[in-house]
Amino acid sequence: MIDCQGKLAVLYEGQGDISAYQQLAEKLQLPFYQSFNDDTLENFFLSWREGSLSLIDRNNLKSSLSVEIEHRPGEQLSWPIAKTGALAQALGRKTKTVVDATAGWGQDSLAMFRMGYVVLSLERSPVMAELLADGFKRLQQLAWVQQLNLAPPQLQVGNAIEILEKLEFKPDCIYLDPMFPPKRKKSALAKKSIMVLRDLVGDDMDKAELFSTALKATGKRVVVKSPDYAEPLGGKPNESFQGKLLRYDVYLK
Ligand SMILES: C[S@@+](CC[C@H](N)C(=O)[O-])C[C@H]1O[C@@H](n2cnc3c(N)ncnc32)[C@H](O)[C@@H]1O
């Protein structure tokens, strides 16, 4: 089942092997266009730009979004980087394995990968999963990743509720960052990538069930990232760590 019918198409921009675009459109059951046309109804397009599978907004065809695999500005250029900050505190000092059950643009999975955690990323949107797979493939090709012989996060496509129920190991931590409704209708503070994600996949209405499944499936803890205005997803957490406009709630098993 495709989650983006009517909203998204694959767009060939005249460069590279056209068959890769056709195959992607077929795999995701999306319309395929060989050039941009004002008559197209879709608001978003998938295309490869500078070697990255990218999501393009029809209102701003020049800019595009793809899974960002480089270190963040100011971050140590080494691996693993220091486990500091609210995310690392929430994950816990003894944690080694993490299942990121709501991978999205992969930014949290990749932050955890850079800190040296072993990460399994789950994503149910086939479109987001394609963007992630492309990002993880690019990561694998980076010189420092090859030199250190590192494996990027593993990606599994599907509903995390079902995957976690059948998980064959107990991760130290299951990490959840579901989509919460925005505080205001159009939040000026929301990042472009998250606004686009909300347009494409909508709010995650089953997050309470995801939380209870995660608590059963985890070995030690569940960490929930939420906007600072949102009620804790699983009731009163054991601990909370404050980030910028967000909170990491920790539930111990
Ligand atoms: C807010 S985004 C996550 C952003 C992510 N933490 C990042 O760093 O880019 C939520 C994502 O979780 C996915 N998702 C929500 N519930 C899910 C579920 N039950 N199984 C798998 N993926 C899920 C959505 O499709 C969406 O891509």
- CATH code for the domain of 99: 3.40.50.150
Q: How many angstroms does the Cα of residue 15 sit away from the middle of ligand 1?
A: 31
pLDDT at 124: 96
**What's the whole-number mean pLDDT along residues 129-151?**
96
Number of separate domains in the chain: 2
Residue 76 domain-assigned (yes or no): no
- Are 96 and 199 contained in the same domain? yes
The tens digit of pLDDT for each residue in 14-67 reads 999 999 999 999 999 999 999 888 888 899 999 999 999 999 999 889 989 999
Same domain? 220 vs 125: yes
Question: What six digits make up the tokens of 64?
Answer: 């595009």
Tell me which residue has its CA closest to atom 13 in ligand 1.
102
Token pair of 162, please? 């079902």
| 107 and 50 within one domain | no
pLDDT of residue 93: 97
User: Are both 33 and 105 inside the same structural domain?
Assistant: no
Average pLDDT over residues 164-180: 97
Q: What average pLDDT does the chain have? A: 93
The answer on 91 and 59 residing in a single domain is no
What residues line ligand 1, using a CB cutoff of 6 Å? 101-102, 104-108, 122-125, 128, 159-161, 177-179, 197, 201, 204, 210
Average pLDDT over residues 189-197: 80
Q: What angle do CA 163, 55, 187 make, to 5 degrees?
A: 85
Question: Is the predicted pLDDT of residue 189 greater than 90, yes or no?
Answer: no
Q: Best mutation site among 2, 55, 102, 105 for ligand 1, i.e. most ligand atoms within 8 A of its Cβ? A: 102
Residues 244 and 128 occupy one common structural domain:
yes
Within-domain flag for 79:
no
Domain ends where: 32, 65, 98?
Answer: 65
pLDDT value at residue 200: 86
134 shares a domain with 45: no
pLDDT of 118 strictly over 60: yes
In a domain? residue 209: yes
What band does 1 get if pLDDT is binned at 50, 70 and 90? very low
Which pLDDT belongs to residue 2?
A: 52
Q: Are residues 140 and 231 in the same domain?
A: yes
Return the half-sphere exposure (C-beta side, CA atoms, 13 A cut-off) of residue 161.
Answer: 10
Query: Could you tell me the pLDDT band of residue 181, with boundaries at 50, 70 and 90?
Result: confident
Nearest Cα to 70, choosing from 123, 144, 150? 144
The answer to whether 175 and 108 have CB atoms below 8 angstroms apart is yes
Give the Cα separation of 189 and 202 in Å (integer): 18
Q: Do the domain assignments include residue 71?
A: no
Q: How far is the CA of 22 from the centre of ligand 1 (A)?
A: 26
Give residue 148's Cα distance to chain centre: 24
In a domain, 72, yes or no: no
Asked whether residue 122 falls in the same domain as residue 206, the answer is yes
> Rounded CA gap, 249 and 171, in Å?
17
Looking at residue 81, its amino acid is I
3-state secondary structure (DSSP) of residue 225: strand
Which carries the bigger pLDDT value, residue 95 or residue 61? 95
Q: What is the DSSP letter of 156?
A: E
Q: Looking at the structure, tell me whether residues 166 and 224 fall in a common domain.
A: yes
Q: Does residue 158 register a pLDDT over 70?
A: yes
Instruction: Clarify whether residues 109 and 212 are in a common domain.
Output: yes
- 245, part of any domain: yes
Phi/psi-derived region of residue 51, left when phi > 0, alpha when psi is between -120 and 50, beta in every other case:
left
Query: Which domain, by its residues, includes 126?
Result: 85-252
Looking up tokens 């079902």, which residue turns up? 162
List the one residue out of 170, 139, 172, 179 whose CA is nearest residue 155.
Answer: 139
77 found inside a domain: no
User: Atom 2 of ligand 1 has which residue's CA nearest to it?
Assistant: 104
Residue 2 lies in a domain: no
One domain for residues 121 and 172 = yes
* 190 has pLDDT over 80: no
